[in-house]
Amino acid sequence: MKKELLMASALVSTLGVASVAQAVTATMAGSMKIGAEFESADDTSSDVSNVKDFSNFNISLSETTDAGTTLSTSFEIVDEGTVAADDDNALKLTFTDGSALELLNAGNASSTHAVAVPGASGEQGVGGTSTNNAPTGIDFGATSTVLGVEWHSAADFLADGLKMSASFSTDSGAAKTATARVESSWGAGATYVTTAGDTTLTIGGGVSGSEVVKTGTQLNADTEGFHVGVSAVTGDLTVGVAYGDGDSFEDETLGVTSQIDGSVTTAGISYVTGDITLALGVTAGEAKDSTTVGTAGASDDSHDSTSASVTYAVASGVSAVVGYTTVDQNNEGASTTDGGSAWYVGATMSF
């Protein structure tokens, strides 16, 4: 309760210094993607062709108080077959010294500093139904609840090119159910940007931890992890590599919870030549999962994928994309029928 009261006091006190506002400043952005995907699974399954029709519309709201503090938030409407509103965005307070505080739905600070590794464009993917729990994102161990706060330092914090963040989230107080969920979390991360000749280097990393509860009982092995990555930009060439390791959990069918000990490596390269962007990315994840609490599985799950794309800037805000992905999966040490490959040909219009 003390944590919730402190959070509410910080929000009310900050809002209280603002002048009476007539309307905040609103900006909008969005995109429309439409194309065709041709998916080829294993030899025992039929090829599938899909029309990919995705659109999103984002509204950002901000205003500055008389004291110089900027209050901002946003929401997004996403149409991926069914219309859904994504309003899991924090209220962000940006202070005059450049530091910031996010209140509610703040996320995990570890994820904030995950290095962006170049990867292929397009909406191609290979679907599967196996219980393969190998991770594909380096921050898979960074979880949080909606009752959270995240602090961000100003630029050049303690050293030129350094930024840091820290976060904490707590339990909503709702009754525990048979579905495992995060009860509390913490996270910390940092990003350092420097130059070496004509190359700009970005180095980022984070650590996180959380408590996971199921039917009122804390699991023996909680969610935790770390990640580190680096990207280098030299002119039109960008290269990146990142690694994540940790523990997570997954709710399977019939109230069964799997605890997962996994790791993942991602690497990618992109090059811009005129109106054309070439990109290539690879992901290699592996994990041991078990429904026995606190005990790692005996066999590995794995997920290995390679993706490539060519993007052509047709006009301002309009791009054409050709993408390809191939995926190989193993579940409990055995090859599955969930691998395959996919092509995508489409266009994106952004504003």
The CATH number of the domain holding residue 243 is 2.40.160.10
More confident residue, 45 or 271: 271
**Is the pTM higher than 0.75?**
yes
Structural domains counted in the chain: 1
User: Does the pLDDT value for residue 5 go beyond 50?
Assistant: no
Q: How far apart are CA 128 and CA 232, in angstroms?
A: 34
More confident residue, 257 or 117: 117
Q: Strand runs (DSSP E) across the chain, as ranges?
A: 25-40, 48-64, 70-79, 83-86, 91-94, 100-103, 147-152, 162-170, 181-196, 199-214, 217-218, 223-234, 237-251, 257-273, 276-290, 301-315, 318-331, 334-335, 340-350
**Entry field: residues in the chain:** 351
Confidence of residue 144 (pLDDT cuts 50, 70, 90): confident
pLDDT in tens, 201-237: 999 999 999 888 776 555 555 678 999 999 999 999 9
Instruction: Label the pairing between strands 100-103 and 340-350.
Output: unpaired
Q: How far apart are CA 276 and CA 268, in angstroms?
A: 17
Residue 46 is part of which domain span?
A: 2-350
Q: How far apart are CA 203 and CA 114, in angstroms?
A: 9
